[in-house]
Structure formats: structure tokens, C-alpha cells
Structure 1
Amino acid sequence: MNPLLTASLWALLSAACFFQAASTDQRTIKITAELGKNIILPCRAHGNRSIIAVEWSRVDLGSEYILVYKHDRIDPQSQRCYFKNGVALQERKITDGDVSLVLKNVRTDDRGTYQCRIAKEKLVHTVQLDVAPPPPDLFASWAVALLVFLGLSSIALLLYHFRHYYLSEYRVVVDSKEESILLPCKTRPLLPADARVEWIDGSNTKVHVYENGSDQLEEQYCLYRTRTKMNKDPLRTGDLSLTLRHPTDGDSWTYSCSVYSREGSILMEKQIHLHVKVHQVVVKEGAEYVQLPFITTPGLPGDAEVIWLDKESRIAHVYKNGSDQPGEQHDFYRRRNKTKMNNDPLRTGDLSLTLKRPTMRDCGEYGCSVTKDLYVLRVKKVQLIVKAGTAQSRTNQRTSGPEASPLIDVI
């Protein structure tokens, strides 16, 4: 063989081996995901061998894990709460060494550096994930042309009438004194019967889940239990709206309604911005009492604890173990015997607080929380406004009996 040709072949072979070795040593993969889509973070064991255990983590989360696989199953106890039901292995039964991670419904907060550690391997597989905004929506330019053609007034009326179907974001404002509110979410009818509907709040907490033809109440966070309801057969009708009972200012969130296929890909997502206004109660100074209302669902756990705090975070009233706890009140309220709650409030759901003989010093925001085993079951705020009374009203208050008018105006 020609010596020059031989030398050239050896040079090419050496270069190929060099690039193969370089690719083998490459430990960091950069991936860009589209907002709201699913993405696969690749990781594979050397030699396609069987896997004993694998750990997926993210650098900025410290010692918390995204997913831990061992003993032929995913360990939910080791998983960070944010990622539960949001990640999965690409292959449920790992037979060929593929332990790639599927990250569902990618959000901006998912941006970061992910690491995959496989048992008995020293190599750490690193994936740098960036999240790009979705491609520009062509609907805007089309809408402008349509507005010019049909006229601004007529198209505005059409969009308003069908807003629940076509707008991906919607805003709802309601007063906390309302019995219930509707978070609207309507889409095309005849969605796949095996699809999954998830309502989540701004902290990625599950508000309501519908799957397999029924509500999945066991997946709800305790704050929403017994408070949510969806219409019957929502996948067939396309009406995925959610009714939320007894709204409070603590429910002011951006809620997301998402529909997933059986394979986990997202079919539809809409957001509803809910603002629940703080309830205001106005009373004239000199009234015998004023009630700070808090009506919620009945049948709360009997061992829950109800705490009312004033604007200075002083304990105004405590109810637990079936009775009031005056010993835990601040002196300002205990010495004046100033507060009272109705009998059996946890059973009835009426957690209202009666404040006796309100004065200008009592003005401000009061907050009530219901907790059990460190879980917050209900929260509410009430703004109390005490207006200056006349000298005559103060005289009437001193001389009137217990049936005197409370002079209360609830807004």
C-alpha cells in the first residue's frame, strides 16, 4: 500500500478515536425546553446494564431529590413535593439502562442544572435546562385584521360572549362574603375519555383532580377538601369550570386548569387570576358588639385549632379541644372579656368572632386560621372599621340593655 495513503488512514482513524473519546467524556448536556411542554432529560448507564438505583437532583435544591428509583420502583418518600406527579422515568421498567427523566408541563421555575447519579457509577450525568417562551401567537395579528373587517364593537361583543372558550387567561374578582365562586374554563367538547384534568393553585398545589370518570378527592390538598366541585361529564361537554365554596382572601391565586392525555402530554391549559377582596365590617363606636364573620364548610376536624389574631398579631381568641382557651388570649382581650365565638364552631363551620364594645382602638385587620397537625385548613381576613359615635349614642350604649341595636353596617 502507498506509504502516504497508509499515513493518511492512520491520521483519520486517530482523529475519529479522539472525537469518540471526547464525546464519551462529555458530561454536560444543554437542553432548551418550551414553556408548557414536556421535555426528556437524557441519562443512560454504560453498557446498557440493569439498574439497581438512580437519583435525579437539581443543584440549587441542595439535598432534596427530584426522583429516586430503587428496588424496581420510584420512592415517593424521597421526592420533593413540588415534583410529585410532575416527573416520571421515560421507561417505567428499566431494562436497557435508560433512566432518562420526563419533566412534565415545563415552567419557568424548572430552569436549572439537573444531575443523574446511577448506582455503582462514578460518572455524574449533568443536564443544563433552559426554558424558552412559547412561539409567538399568530392569533393577535389575525384578530387585528378581523377587527378592521367586522368593526371594533361587534368583535368585542363576540369575544366577551365566548371569552371562556378562547382566552387562555381570565380574571375573576369577588368579595369574600360570597357563598361560592366559579373559576371558568371551557374548551372544545369530546376530549379523550381517558384524559386527566388538574386544577392547581399558584404554589403548584392540587386544588381538584378529575380522572377515570370521577373526582380524585384523595389527591386534593387539605385546604380545598369539601370546597370544590366540577360539573358532570366535563370531558364530554368541554366545561371544566370549577366551583370554589366559601372563598376567602387566602384563595387569591393564579389557578391553572390543565388537561393531560394518557401519555402525559398536555392537551389544553388555561389560567384564571382570582382576587378575593378582604371583607369589611363597619360599626359605630358605642355599639354593644360587632361580629367579624367567617362562614366556611361544616364538619371540620374536631381536634383542629382556631386562632383569631388582631392587626398587631396579638391573640384575640383561641378555640381548641372543644372549648375556648381564654388563658392563651392576650391580656388586652382576656381582662376585658372582649371576645366570644358560637358553640361548636368546627361542626357548624361558623367561625365568626364577636367583639364586644368596639372602640377606635379596635380598628384594623383581623385574621383567622384553622390548623391541624401543622396543616392550614382554612384562613380568612376581616377589616374592621370603627367610626366615631356621637355623645348621644355613647350615652344610649351605657344605658341600654342587652337587646340594644349593635349599629353595624357590613360592606
Structure 2
Amino acid sequence: MAARIAKAIEHVEHPNCYLPTFLPHGSAGGVPRVAARQAVVVRFTEQETVTGLFSKDCILPCPFSPGDYEVIYWQKGDKIVHSYYDQSDQLERQDPDYRHRTHLFHENIPSGNASLKLSNLTVTDEGSYNCYVGTQQTKTEVEVMLHVRDQLSSVEGSSTAIPCEYSNNTTNNEGVSVVWTLNRNAVISVLASFNGTSHSYQPRVQINQNDFSLKLCDLTANDSGEYLCNISTPHYTKLTARTLQVACCGKGLNRWLLSVATNCPQN
């Protein structure tokens, strides 16, 4: 195996075939690429789309044709997400953002499964991922688009605060405009806005003028839905989506405690 890794890559002038071997460690991002002595079939698949929930785990699919000497390489842009060769994980050059958060299903690799489990999803995980798998027989490339949704849970009668992503690089809110809307069953309702001063257009809602989060008091099941925070500054515009699920019940002491925690008035 060591002799294979030491070889340089070779090419054949053919649109569908090449004769690669292994790149030495430290080349091509530190991940060896596999090839066979015979012509290799290059297999591309259509883009996959995966939606995960914030702080939860999700699986990015990457099927390939089983072969010998598997090399698996997951990448997001120029970030190395996960590498595997020599029948083990190779994480020395893994990007710090993914440390202790990635997992391959080693027992399923021989059968053609290079899917990656990504744990504790964050909003910054959203984007396009590329999976490269090389064996002596074939080379496969799969693109996976990951969408991350933030689902909040609460109970009827309680209160909550829905965050809005905002990078505050100034000491004041001059030039900042914020609009909160609710998308429920394809019906859009404007809840509140901020443009120097805050305005509420629905009962039980209020914008926090420090971080522009949305406070909701005395929740009901009808408050379930997708909340959108559209924030505009002289430098950028950003839309943040949060999903709120309100379950039944939650009266008495729990309601009082949550109302106090978010500074909401009690009925």
C-alpha cells in the first residue's frame, strides 16, 4: 500500500478515462487519490438536497460502486470536512469547524456507502458539500446541498424569544431596518418592525431593540409556524428563518416562570 501512495498521477487523453494512481500524502489537500492501472469509469451523480434541524444530527448521502482501496474525501468549499483512506479516518487536516462532529459508517463502506453523519448542526453548516470517492475501479463525485432550519419548541401559555441573526459592528442601530413576519399555512402576516423605533402589528409580540429578537407571550397553537426576520443595514441584507412548534398545555407555574423570564406581561 505504501508503494501505491508514493506513485504520481498519470493521465490518458480520453474524455471518459484516465489512469490515475495515488497522490503522495500532502498533495491535493493531503488526501491521496486512487486509481487503477486500467481505465476508470468516472461516475457523477445529481445534486442531493438534505434539510437538517439546528443543533441536531443529519446524514449527507454519498453512494458509490464498491471497489478496492477506498479513498473518501468530504469537502465544503476549501474546507476539509472528513478524509478516509488506509481503512481509517485521516483527520489531521480536518477543518476545526468540524472537529468531533463528523462520522463515517465504516462497516458500510465496503458495500458502497460513504455517507457522512454531521452532528450538532449550526447555521454556518448550511451550504454545498462535495463527496469524492475513489477506488481501483471507479471514481465517484456527489454534491449535497445542506439546508439548516432552526426549530424551536414551546407549550401553550408560555413565552419565548425567537433570535434574529445580526452582526452588530457599530455602537448604535442607525440605518438598521428589521421586519418580522410569520408564514403559517402559506399565509404571510407582518408581526413587528424596527426602523429607529419598534412597532408591533399583532398582540403579544415585541421586538428587542438590542438584538432584534422577537418576544412572543402567552403562546397558543396558532403561533406555530415559520418566523422570518428580514434585517437590512447599509452594508448587507439578511433573512433568518426559525420554525416554532407550540404544543398544547403548559399552564400554571410553568407559564408564570416563562413569562417572567422573557419579561412578558401576564394576563
| TM-score calculated relative to the size of structure 1 | 0.33
- Using the size of structure 2 for normalisation, the TM-score is 0.48
| Greater length-normalized contact order (CA 8 Å, ≥ 6 residues apart) | 2
Radius of gyration: which is bigger?
1
